[in-house]
Structure 1
């Protein structure tokens, strides 16, 4: 894949000249992260499923960038991408595991294959991303940021696959941090609330998500602009933070997380008993549609 560079006359920052990998980079938070990392001087490797969007994004970034259309659940293709990133841009010192998809509906009604795909992309894909790029992070004493969710702190009904996967990546990142801290590698977890992306906009068109959000207390029911969340994550990368909260109020949920399952179950009992079970959504948004299609890397191995 090609690269593109542009001269920058600002003072160098912590990311200047570093190689940063972003998964799920084709749209949404991943696209925003790629742009901001590039603006701050990083050489950005874009990984995702939507090749055309990745190519246009790489061509439009202000610094060196390249893209690889890879399914993060394909270990062999991801390993090859890691080798290609190293050869094209250099050894990564920042890796952001951002790739994620979602679906809504009750466990009994959801398509089992789609349910499993959410867990595979969000959890297994994150672990494979860390494994494939960890040799580079060990070499560069780098930093790995795992994108989790408010759902890891406050699991909600109608989102069992998403909540399970985000709770899983939180635990995974904590375990990984303990394994690699003595080698000088930092590991952070980003906890995000609802962010205005194509996934959330698609979700809000479904009965399941409208039911869920309508009965959440403010500010948990609010949808937030992506730019502040992206800046919070990139600032966290620069500081090698163990935890990133966006918006900032999400930090407060940590202190009461032990109480939340009881509270959520109590509220949900009343809501779902009177409203019935919303229809399952299937994989949501353009990212979900891309994840539902056989990827190029998986097709080549079929």
Structure 2
């Protein structure tokens, strides 16, 4: 069951032209840390009442308590449809129906496909892709009632798939396609859908990624401005501006919008850089252990394994 503490500081403030988000309700998944936590803070500072959804109870509470405005904290696994439905009921009861829902929860795994545990590979797809779809399913009644905005967090991994990141790249390409398909379905109901394309962002998921020769080469072969790592706070500001405009696409950093016309060439460029790097290293050098990236991803994987191992075997 979701863990729901007291709602703080509720008061209804009609939105005005200077602060169009003020008084409205936002839901952010994966809000315990990283981009989710930074975005929850940015939306709260913009006057929104924010519901933070995540797996890590203590970290989630700390993030919620640091926000300046009214908050609701819900411990929830986005792969659990019943828990998401309960979270949606709790948000409506505690804060009101959501006007903004951000499907941000995500994990990543680095390592060769043939050495990645099948359950771990599947978990990345379940959290990143299926979890995003289930988040939309749970909160669409809110967004229909408020004529709201659903933001899907994608990645430049959707532009060109990187070796050693097969599950993550597949999931991010998938969420982009899902969001674009959903957009056409819900637009007649007044619901708008945005896709956010994030590049290198300084979260704990990125820590140590340059230690892998192929991934380091992909970054090294990018133009200098494209190698820059942006803080989660800066990315959250870009996302907040896009949410305010109900933008169909949000680019973080903004110059990524000029890369869209070049997308057909990106897979070939990524494949060329990866192939060159793979040939330059021995199999021993490339046989790094499969790794779940970031503290949030490791917490999710440990929780999933614990629940899986404690479940009774099928008869």
1:288 pairs with 2:288: no
**Equivalence map 1:96-175=2 (5 Å):** 96-175=102-181
Cα RMSD (Å): 2.4
1:96–1:144 CA contact under 8 A, matched in 2: yes
The correspondence for 1:256, drawn from 257, 262, 265, is 262
Query: What is the count of residue pairs matched by the alignment?
Result: 301
**Equivalence map 1:1-302=2 (5 Å):** 1-5=5-9, 13-206=19-212, 209-276=215-282, 277-294=286-303, 302=311
Q: Distance in 2 between matches of 1:107 and 1:212?
A: 18
Q: Distance in 2 between matches of 1:296 and 1:239?
A: 40
Q: Tell me the SS of whatever aligns to 2:303.
A: coil
Change (3 A) 1:192 1:289: same
Change (3 A) 1:241 1:89: same
Of 250-259 and 215-224, more deviation after overlay is shown by 215-224
Q: Tell me the SS of whatever aligns to 2:205.
A: helix
Q: Tell me the SS of whatever aligns to 1:66.
A: strand
Deviations 1:128-185 (A, max 9, x none): 0000000110011000000000111122222111110000000000000000001000
Q: Distance in 2 between matches of 1:53 and 1:209?
A: 29
Q: Distance in 1 between matches of 2:44 and 2:108?
A: 27
Shift of 1:281: 3.2
Shift of 1:285: 1.3
Shift of 1:204: 3.9
Q: Distance in 2 between matches of 1:47 and 1:89?
A: 14
Q: Distance in 1 between matches of 2:50 and 2:155?
A: 24
Q: Distance in 1 between matches of 2:306 and 2:72?
A: 17
Deviations 1:188-229 (A, max 9, x none): 000010100111124345556435433444333331222221
Q: Distance in 1 between matches of 2:244 and 2:194?
A: 11
Q: Distance in 2 between matches of 1:185 and 1:126?
A: 16
Q: Distance in 2 between matches of 1:154 and 1:280?
A: 23
Q: Distance in 1 between matches of 2:169 and 2:23?
A: 36
Of 169-178 and 258-267, more deviation after overlay is shown by 258-267
Q: Tell me the SS of whatever aligns to 1:283.
A: strand
Q: Distance in 1 between matches of 2:95 and 2:12?
A: 18
Which consecutive unaligned segments of at least 5 residues does structure 1 have?
none
